[in-house]
Each structure stands twice: as C-alpha cells, then as structure tokens.
C-alpha cells in the first residue's frame, strides 16, 4: 500500500501542472525523500502511514504534525504540514488541509454563481474510516455522494452510513466481486441482500469489461447477456435506477466495436431507462458524440478523465478531457451542446483516494466548471445527478 500511496502523492504536482493549475499539496524533492524514508523506517504495519504508536518522538510532536487530526502521519504531513517541521530551507512546506469554511481554493471565482458538486459514484474501501468522508466532502465542495462498498468492505457499512447521513450519502448496491465475475450462486445472495435493504437507492457500476491493471486488478469480462448482468440490469430498471456500465472500450482492442454494439443494444432495449458509462468508457469525443446522437438515454460520468487520475494510472488509455489549462475544444463543444448528458463523478476506490487525490480533482473541476456557461456548469456539477437519481438539491 505504501508504494501506491507514495505514487499517488507524487503524481499530483506534475498532473496539475499539465492542466495549468497549481498543486494544492506539493512537496519539494528533498522533503519527499525524507518523508518516504521516515515512513519506510517507522511504518511497522505496512499501511503507508505512521500511527501514534509507531511515532518515536512523543504525543506532543505527533499532534503537532497530524494536520488533519486523523491519528496518522502521511507523507504530506511529514514533509511540513501543520506547524511546519522539516522541509527544505526557505520552503514552508505544504499547507495543512483546510477546514470546510476556510477552503477558499474550492470556491468558484467571484461573480460565478455558488456551485456545489454531486459525486455520482465513489466507493468505501476497507481501511477507510467513514468519519473522514463528510469532512473531505465539505472541503471539496461536494454536497452529496452516491457510495458503494468496495470488494473488501461490507455493503452493510455503506447502508448504515447512508442511514446516518441521508442528505449527504446515497447507498448504492455493489455487484463487483468474484461471485459476479464468475456468475456463481453466491451472487444472487449478494444482490438480493442489498436490494432488500431500504437504505440502498442506487446501483453502483457493473463491470462488463475491465482491463487488467498489472498486479492491482484483474481482467474482467462479463457479457451484458450473462444471467448475472441481466439480473442486475432488471433490478435497476425495476427500481428506476440508472444502470452504470463499466466498459473500457479503448483497452478492448479489436473487441471495441463489438462491445460498443453490446452497450448500444442495452440502451435500445430499454429506451426510457438511463444508461451511464463510467470513466466515459475510454471514448473519444467522436464516439461519445455518436452515442449521444443515436441514444437519448445514454449519459457519461466524468470520472478518471483528468490529468490527476491519469497521472496515477499511466499506461492505461483513459479519456483525457483536458489539454493545457482547460477542456479540449472538442469535449467543451460536446458538453456545451449536450449539457444533460454529462455527470460529475470521482470514483474514489482506495483509502488514499479519499484525501489529496480527491481534493486536487475537486479543485480542477471547480475551476473548469467556472469556465462553462452557468446553466451547463450547474447541470454537470449536480443537476444531472439529482435528476437521474432523484436526489434533493442542496438546501438554500
């Protein structure tokens, strides 16, 4: 986990520089080296951070460095963080994470209508303290999150969290896992157990084609006509929940056309039901435009389509909406012409995604949405998610 955490942290500054944006939590090279070395030396349980019991310099020093008060020291906090402490000479180190009222960097520019975000798809992984989610949402300017359990987390944890925070969290049914991939009888138990729980009010992404990501994630291919996929689709259609299809079309190679036809057949078979491609299906603007023209019920979640996420997932053919300091012209034109088809989403997966990785993306999207016509920005930021998932808007 440490290697992944450090890689995520170090990609931020470069990724945002490519987007023409300042990094919110960047570390100078010497501070990065010291932070990495300190974690490697002191992190006895291998979780990529230092707990109070692992810290050798006393409670006062630990509390001084623990910028977000979560009981752990990360690479960013060891590089400076709250109260300074050990960056290169002449550099005060990264600022401490802001409290929600102080998060001015996430506010839209003066003169632009107040804009809040809705995250249409993220995940609660094992190892993540749920109590960290709402403060991070506040800091990022995210009012509501549609949340599912990752494979290593019980769906009941998400249901309980949604019940405790109904204005802020919608629990989504998880299909992901070996039972779905292999179509075993256990999948019906997983699916029906969640469907019978009133707290679940959405369907999370359904993996129909997922390319292998090294040792991190396997290749998964489930045909849309497979019984487990059809059962999941039927449940979503019956309840009026958008069906989020996970296809990585660009990674499919020669099978791309066949998989696009498969997805189009789903949309045609249920013309009055919304179908959503997460991570925008790794499509280019021309392919997305054709789907929009042919299928009024097809939509796109903008997750994993920006320099921050692409910096973490090098070597994968993700869609990049950005070029230099803003949206690529073809994507800007498509979004402005079809503002009802694009939905903001982050799809936080790993525990370390719920931190600077998330905040950097929120910063990027706040700045980018501020360059769009206000009605378009509101639709993408929150309006489309509220309409499709029947979410109440943020109270005035």
pLDDT per position as a tens digit, 143-165 = 999 999 998 999 999 999 999 99
Ordered DSSP codes for 232-288: HHHHHHHHT--EEEEE-TGGGGGGHHHHHHHHHHHHHHSTTS-EEEGGGGG--HHHH
pLDDT at 23 over 50: no
At residue 354, the pLDDT reads 96
CATH number at residue 70: 1.10.238
**171: phi then psi, degrees, rounded to nearest 5:** -80, 130
- Are 13 and 49 contained in the same domain? yes
Q: Is residue 372 in a domain?
A: yes
Residues 161 and 185 in one domain: yes
| pLDDT bracket for residue 10 (50, 70, 90) | very low
Unique residue bearing structure tokens 């800091």: 139
When comparing pLDDT for 201 and 41, which is higher? 201
Tell me how many degrees the CA angle 41-46-49 measures, rounded to the nearest 5.
70
- Residue 298: strand, helix, or coil: strand
Residue-level pLDDT at 31: 53
Q: For the ranges 172-181, 207-216, 273-282, which has the lowest average pLDDT?
A: 207-216
> How much is the pLDDT for 35?
73
At which of 90, 117, 148 does a domain end?
A: 90
Residue 96 belongs to some domain of the structure: no
**DSSP at 394:** P
* Mean pLDDT along residues 296-320: 90
Residues 219 and 306 in one domain: yes
Q: Cβ distance 381 to 344 under 8 Å?
A: yes
pLDDT at 69: 61
pLDDT band at 66 (very low <50, low <70, confident <90, very high): confident
Q: HSE of 363 in the Cβ direction (CA atoms, 13 Å)?
A: 25
DSSP calls for 171-228: EEE---SHHHHHT-THHHHHHHHHHTSTTEEEE--EEEEE--BTTTB--EE--TTSHH
Q: Per the domain annotation, does 98 fall within a domain?
A: no
Q: What's the CA gap between 344 and 120, in Å, rounded? A: 6
From 112, 161, 163, select the one nearest 141 (Cα to Cα): 112
Give percent of the chain with pLDDT exceeding 90: 66
Tell me the pLDDT of the chain averaged across its residues: 84
Residue (of 93, 74, 87, 67) closest to 2 by Cα position? 74
Does a structural domain hold residue 229?
Answer: yes
Look at residue 322 and give its three-state secondary structure: strand
Say whether both 8 and 84 belong to one domain.
yes
Please determine, for residue 388, whether its predicted confidence score (pLDDT) is greater than 90.
Answer: yes
Q: In this structure, is residue 310 part of a structural domain?
A: yes
Is residue 70 domain-shared with residue 127, that is, in the same domain? no
**95 occurs within a structural domain:** no
Tell me which of 294 and 25 has the higher pLDDT: 294
Cβ atoms of 106 and 139 within 8 Å: the answer is yes
**H or E element at residue 53:** none
In a domain, 394, yes or no: no
- Count of structural domains, the chain: 2
Domain boundaries, position 13: 2-90
- Among 280, 274, 278, 244, which residue's Cα sits nearest to residue 388? 274
Spatial separation of the C-alpha atoms in residues 226 and 389, rounded to whole Å: 25
Average pLDDT over residues 172-191: 96
Pairing of β 117-124 and β 50-51: unpaired
Q: Report the alpha-carbon distance of residue 336 to residue 240 in Å, rounded.
A: 27
Q: Please say whether the beta carbons of 221 and 208 come within 8 A.
A: yes
Same domain assignment for residues 350 and 212:
yes
Read off the pTM: 0.76
Tens of pLDDT along 343-383?
A: 999 999 999 999 999 999 999 999 999 999 999 999 999 99
Q: Do 192 and 79 share a structural domain?
A: no
Do 60 and 205 share a domain, yes or no?
no
> How far is it, in rounded angstroms, from Cα 137 to Cα 317?
28
Question: pLDDT, tens digit, for every residue of 74-131?
Answer: 766 776 433 333 333 233 333 333 333 333 333 444 433 469 999 999 999 999 999 9
* The last residue of a domain, from among 60, 90, 120: 90
Q: What is the pLDDT of residue 29?
A: 39
Residue 38 has a pLDDT of 79
Where residue 261 falls among pLDDT bands split at 50, 70, 90? very high
CATH code, domain carrying 350: 3.20.20.140
Q: Is the pLDDT of residue 9 over 60?
A: no
CA distance 186 to 340: 37
> Are 12 and 161 contained in the same domain?
no
Boundary-marking domain end, from 32, 64, 90: 90
Please tell me whether residues 22 and 151 are part of one structural domain.
Answer: no
Asked whether residue 48 falls in the same domain as residue 132, the answer is no
> How much is the pLDDT for 30?
47
Same domain assignment for residues 156 and 255: yes
Give a yes or no: residue 200 inside a domain.
yes
């Amino acid at each position: 986990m440490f290697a992944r955490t450090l890689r995520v942290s170090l990609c931020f500054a470069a990724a945002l520089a490519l987007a023409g944006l300042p990094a919110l939590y960047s570390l100078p090279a010497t501070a990065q080296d010291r932070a990495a070395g300190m974690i490697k030396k002191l992190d006895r349980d291998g979780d990529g951070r230092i707990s109070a019991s692992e810290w050798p310099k006393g409670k006062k020093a630990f509390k001084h460095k623990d910028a977000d008060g979560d009981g752990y020291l990360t690479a960013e906090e060891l590089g400076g963080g709250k109260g300074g402490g050990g960056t290169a000479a002449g550099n005060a180190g990264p600022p401490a994470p802001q409290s929600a009222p102080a998060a001015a960097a996430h506010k839209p520019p003066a003169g632009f209508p107040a804009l809040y975000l809705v995250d249409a798809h993220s995940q609660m992984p094992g190892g993540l303290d749920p109590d960290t989610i709402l403060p991070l949402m506040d800091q990022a300017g995210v009012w509501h999150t549609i949340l599912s359990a990752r494979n290593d987390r019980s769906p009941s944890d998400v249901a309980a969290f949604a019940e405790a925070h109904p204005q802020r969290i919608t629990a989504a049914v998880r299909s992901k896992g070996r039972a779905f991939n292999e179509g075993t009888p256990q999948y019906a138990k997983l699916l029906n157990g969640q469907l019978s729980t009133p707290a679940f009010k959405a369907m999370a992404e359904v993996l129909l084609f997922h390319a292998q990501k090294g040792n991190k994630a396997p290749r998964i291919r489930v045909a849309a006509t497979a019984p487990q996929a059809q059962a999941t689709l039927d449940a979503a259609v019956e309840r009026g929940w958008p069906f989020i299809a996970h296809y990585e079309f660009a990674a499919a190679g020669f099978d791309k056309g066949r998989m696009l036809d498969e997805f189009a057949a789903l949309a045609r078979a249920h013309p009055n039901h919304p179908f959503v491609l997460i991570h925008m299906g790794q499509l280019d603007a021309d392919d997305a435009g054709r789907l929009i023209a042919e299928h009024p019920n097809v939509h796109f979640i903008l997750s994993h389509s920006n320099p921050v996420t692409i910096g973490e997932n090098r070597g994968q053919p993700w869609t990049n909406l950005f070029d230099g300091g803003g949206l690529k012209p073809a994507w800007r034109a498509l979004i402005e012409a079809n503002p009802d088809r694009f939905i903001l989403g982050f799809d936080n997966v790993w525990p370390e995604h719920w931190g600077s990785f998330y905040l950097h993306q929120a910063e990027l999207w706040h700045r980018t949405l501020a360059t769009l016509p206000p009605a378009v920005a509101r639709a993408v930021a929150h309006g489309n998610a509220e309409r499709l998932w029947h979410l109440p808007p943020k109270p005035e």
